């Protein structure tokens, strides 16, 4: 028995050395695939494309005469994006718990931090690609729409503004991702996102109206506020960037770190 055990130990040690660890790129690839290989994931992705086209068409049809511009279109495109992208971010995390597939995921990759990190990268990739698609659809819409109206297309969104819009949507996704990590339940995280993005901003706005001192404080606390400034492409001064950093720290970084610590210690059932 002892020799047998010793033998097993040696062969095992060899096996352990011989097998290379799972590269992060592979985990990212798998996580990216998992975001869209279910029916719900597929429709969520498809609806981004479909709703972008619908929003663009609606903007062309309903825009008052001579007011169609690239900005009008990107604003119209912004609605489906700010709604759908955070949902994709939430489900990327929570489905492991709500659908219990985490049992397999975390058995195949025991480092939960790596899995969540891979999910974060995959989420950012999806966000950026979706935004590029939306900008492209908007650009086509702008060309077609102005041709229909017989005007020259108005290109009034510069690269800097476009980058801020992308950043704004990534902020929304990060909020969703954070909620997913903290709550680890699809339903709770989705409700949580609507509370944070609609109810909370309303409360903070109300507070700002009632308490005068709060008006100055609001941009430092309200992530919705800093996100809207990004969408408008008006985050320019140092103070505005610091405010963005402050709301990001408060609503994303701190809860994400706490959530990650809890997630790594939690039971996967």
| Residues sharing a CB contact under 8 Å with residue 95, sequence separation 6 or more, in sequence order | 34, 38, 101, 186
**Residue 145 Cα distances to 49, 55, 136, angstroms:** 18, 13, 14
Q: Is 3 in the site for other proteins (CB under 8 A)?
A: no
Residues 113 and 121: their CA atoms lie apart, in Å, by: 12
Residues 142 and 49: their CA atoms lie apart, in Å, by: 16
Q: Is 111 in the site for other proteins (CB under 8 A)?
A: yes
Least separation in angstroms between CB 187 and other proteins: 15
Least separation in angstroms between CB 267 and other proteins: 5
Residues 210 and 83: their CA atoms lie apart, in Å, by: 29
Q: Is 190 in the site for other proteins (CB under 8 A)?
A: no
Q: Is 40 in the site for other proteins (CB under 8 A)?
A: yes
Which letter, b or e, does each residue of 112-121 get, where b requires 16 or more Cβ atoms within 10 Å of its Cβ? beebbbbbbe
Q: Is 2 in the site for other proteins (CB under 8 A)?
A: no
Least separation in angstroms between CB 50 and other proteins: 19
Nearer to other proteins, 35 or 221 (CB): 35
Least separation in angstroms between CB 138 and other proteins: 31
Nearer to other proteins, 26 or 66 (CB): 26
**Residue 246 Cα distances to 218, 221, 225, 251, 261, angstroms:** 11, 7, 12, 9, 21
Residues 35 and 41: their CA atoms lie apart, in Å, by: 6
Least separation in angstroms between CB 52 and other proteins: 24
> Which among 7-15, 133-141, 177-185, 249-257 is the span making contact with other proteins, rule CB under 8 A?
7-15
Residues 200 and 203: their CA atoms lie apart, in Å, by: 5
Nearer to other proteins, 34 or 225 (CB): 34
In 3D space, the residue among 230, 231, 232, 255 whose CA is nearest the CA of residue 240 turns out to be 230
> Which among 75-83, 183-191, 244-252, 261-269 is the span making contact with other proteins, rule CB under 8 A?
261-269
> Which among 16-24, 119-127, 199-207, 231-239 is the span making contact with other proteins, rule CB under 8 A?
16-24
In 3D space, the residue among 94, 161, 103 whose CA is nearest the CA of residue 123 turns out to be 94
**Residues 67-106 interacting with other proteins (rule: CB under 8 A):** 95, 99-104, 106
Residues found near other proteins in the complex (CB under 8 A): 5, 8-9, 12-13, 15-16, 19-22, 26-27, 29-30, 33-34, 37-41, 95, 99-104, 106-111, 265, 267-269
């Amino acid at each position: 028995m002892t020799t047998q055990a010793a033998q097993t130990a040696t062969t095992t040690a060899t096996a352990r050395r011989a097998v290379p660890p799972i590269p992060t790129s592979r985990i990212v690839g798998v996580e990216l695939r998992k975001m869209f290989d279910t029916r719900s994931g597929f429709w969520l992705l498809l609806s981004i494309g479909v709703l972008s086209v619908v929003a663009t068409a609606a903007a062309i049809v309903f825009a008052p005469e001579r007011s169609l511009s690239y900005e009008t279109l990107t604003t119209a495109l912004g609605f489906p994006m700010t709604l759908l992208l955070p949902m994709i971010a939430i489900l990327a995390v929570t489905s492991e718990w709500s659908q219990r597939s985490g049992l397999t995921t975390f058995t195949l990759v025991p480092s939960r931090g790596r899995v969540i990190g891979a999910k974060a990268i995959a989420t950012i990739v999806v966000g950026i690609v979706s935004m590029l698609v939306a900008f492209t659809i908007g650009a086509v819409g702008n060309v077609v729409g102005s041709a229909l109206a017989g005007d020259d297309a108005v290109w009034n969104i510069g690269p800097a503004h476009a980058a801020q819009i992308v950043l704004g949507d990534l902020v929304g996704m990060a909020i969703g991702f954070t909620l997913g990590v903290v709550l680890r339940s699809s339903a709770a995280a989705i409700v949580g996102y609507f509370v944070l993005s609609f109810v909370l901003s309303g409360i903070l706005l109300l507070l700002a109206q009632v308490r005068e001192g709060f008006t100055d404080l609001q941009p430092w606390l309200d992530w919705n506020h800093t996100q809207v400034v990004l969408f408008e492409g008006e985050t320019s001064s140092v103070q505005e960037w610091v405010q963005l950093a402050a709301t990001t720290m408060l609503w994303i970084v701190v809860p994400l770190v706490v959530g990650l610590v809890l997630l790594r210690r939690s039971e996967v059932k």
